[in-house]
């Protein structure tokens, strides 16, 4: 399968999918997002594949967020519609994927990029990576489940601090917070992730599928949180702060919120 914005390779039962928009720091436009959805669904239906690794092409970015240029003009309705689509892809395709998905975080994992990494089953980071949910600096809040998944992974206090300050954390902090499972040198990121995949491959695919489903059942009481997030997220669009925040980024300026 040929993709416009992804690279996909299969080697010894491991499918490595790389987001490939390096000149935009692998920012996730809708086309790329839909391709990612398609690539993962294809991996699920391919019996040759047992584990999926998602990474970013190049050394600088995993995914530097959703494509700000694309979403800067969205209305509330469009924001709501796409938030639903995004939630569906992150929950159904990634988090509840019957095959394990490892995020190999090779650089910036910001906004929607970190949200994708958090929906994956396991996260390995390069020591050079930086992670954050900077949406509030754009007059927005995380819209792909980030408010719920971050709090679940690192606790409410740290999640609130990261989201409210829009601060990026480095790989050591991410490891210390429990946001990632492992931190390795950049050049070891893919070999280490493949080694981890190979350990998983030794185990029963059926048991793995059932284990993922069971561990994810722990999320169920929080589904109302996702609904609240979708509502609050879409209400940010068209606001003065959102227009100011996205415009400032696109003009390479710092926004001044009142």
Q: Phi and psi for 87 in degrees, rounded to 5? A: -60, -40
> Minimum CB separation from ligand DAK for residue 68, in Å?
4
CB 56 within 8 A of CB 112: no
> Minimum CB separation from ligand DAK for residue 113, in Å?
7
89: left (phi over 0), alpha (psi -120 to 50) or beta: alpha
Q: Which is nearer to ligand DAK, 53 or 66 (CB)?
A: 66
Secondary structure class of 82 (helix, strand, coil): helix
Asked if 171 interacts with ligand DAK (CB under 6 A), we say: no
Q: Which is nearer to ligand DAK, 85 or 153 (CB)?
A: 85
Cα dist. 158→73, 166, 232, 255 in Å? Answer: 31, 12, 20, 24
Binding pattern to ligand DAK, positions 25-54, x when CB under 6 A? x-x---------------------------
Q: Say how far apart CA 95 and CA 117 lie, in whole Å.
A: 10
Residue 173 among the catalytic residues: no
Q: Which is nearer to ligand DAK, 52 or 82 (CB)?
A: 82
Q: Say how far apart CA 34 and CA 16 lie, in whole Å.
A: 17
Q: Which is nearer to ligand DAK, 100 or 107 (CB)?
A: 107
Residue 161 among the catalytic residues: no
**Which parts of 9-28 interact with ligand DAK (CB under 6 A)?**
24-25, 27
Q: Say how far apart CA 229 and CA 146 lie, in whole Å.
A: 9
List, in order, residues 6 or more apart from 1 with CB less than 8 Å away.
8, 38, 39, 42
Segment interacting with ligand DAK, rule: CB under 6 A, options 42-50, 67-75, 93-101, 151-159: 67-75
Binding pattern to ligand DAK, positions 123-152, x when CB under 6 A? -----------xx--x----xx--------
List, in order, residues 6 or more apart from 34 with CB less than 8 Å away.
none
Here the tokens at position 7 are: 């690279």
Asked if 79 interacts with ligand DAK (CB under 6 A), we say: yes
Asked if 69 interacts with ligand DAK (CB under 6 A), we say: yes
Q: Which residue is nearest to ligand DAK (CB)?
A: 111
Question: What are the residue numbers of the active site?
Answer: 115, 135
Q: Which residues here bind ligand DAK, judged by CB under 6 A?
A: 24-25, 27, 64-69, 71, 74, 79, 82-83, 86, 108, 110-112, 134-135, 138, 143-144
């Amino acid at each position: 399968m040929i993709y416009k914005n992804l690279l996909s390779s299969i080697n010894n039962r491991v499918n490595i999918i790389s987001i490939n928009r390096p000149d935009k720091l692998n920012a996730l436009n809708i086309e790329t997002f839909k391709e990612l959805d398609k690539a993962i669904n294809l991996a699920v239906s391919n019996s040759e594949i047992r584990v999926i690794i998602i990474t970013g092409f190049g050394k600088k970015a995993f995914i530097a967020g959703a494509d700000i240029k694309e979403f800067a003009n969205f209305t509330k309705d469009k924001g709501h519609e796409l938030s639903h689509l995004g939630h569906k892809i992150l929950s159904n395709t990634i988090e509840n994927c019957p095959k394990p998905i490892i995020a190999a975080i090779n650089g910036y994992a910001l906004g929607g990029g970190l949200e994708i990494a958090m929906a994956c089953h396991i996260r390995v980071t390069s020591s050079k990576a930086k992670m954050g949910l900077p949406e509030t600096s754009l007059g927005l809040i995380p819209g792909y489940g980030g408010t719920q998944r971050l709090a679940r992974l690192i606790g409410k206090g740290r999640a609130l601090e990261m989201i409210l300050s829009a601060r990026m954390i480095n790989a050591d902090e991410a490891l210390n917070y429990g946001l990632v499972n492992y931190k390795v040198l950049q050049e070891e990121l893919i070999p280490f992730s493949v080694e981890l995949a190979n350990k998983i491959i030794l185990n029963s695919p059926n048991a793995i599928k059932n284990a993922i489903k069971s561990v994810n059942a722990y999320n169920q009481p929080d589904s109302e949180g996702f609904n609240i997030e979708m509502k609050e997220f879409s209400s940010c669009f068209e606001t003065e702060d959102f227009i100011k925040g996205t415009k400032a980024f696109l003009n390479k300026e710092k926004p001044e919120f009142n």
